[in-house]
């Protein structure tokens, strides 16, 4: 059986300020890492093009090679944490 601890949970809120302007914000939660990742986007639509500004956080999970593969001069570290 699959545990809920393996899946991320997300919450997104979109607010339409006017016909041309909107704000989208949200976060994702990774239960197995106990990490929240936040983001926000602000956009404006003109008649022929759109502009936007955004900010987002992220996290980097260690790869299998970084944790366990002892080859090519690399020394694995099974205790690596999320960056």
Q: Which residues of the chain register pLDDT less than 70?
A: 1-8, 60-61, 78-83
H or E segment and range at residue 37: strand 35-45
- Residue 1: predicted pLDDT: 43
pTM for the whole structure: 0.55
Helices (H), 3-82: 64-68
């Amino acid at each position: 059986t699959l545990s809920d601890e393996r899946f991320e949970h997300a919450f997104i809120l979109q607010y339409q300020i006017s016909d041309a302007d909107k704000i989208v914000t949200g976060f994702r939660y990774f239960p197995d890492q106990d990490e929240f990742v936040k983001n926000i986007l602000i956009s404006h639509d003109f008649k022929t093009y759109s502009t936007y500004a955004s900010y987002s956080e992220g996290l980097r999970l260690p790869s299998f090679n970084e944790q366990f593969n002892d080859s090519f001069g690399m020394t694995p570290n099974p205790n690596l944490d999320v960056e």
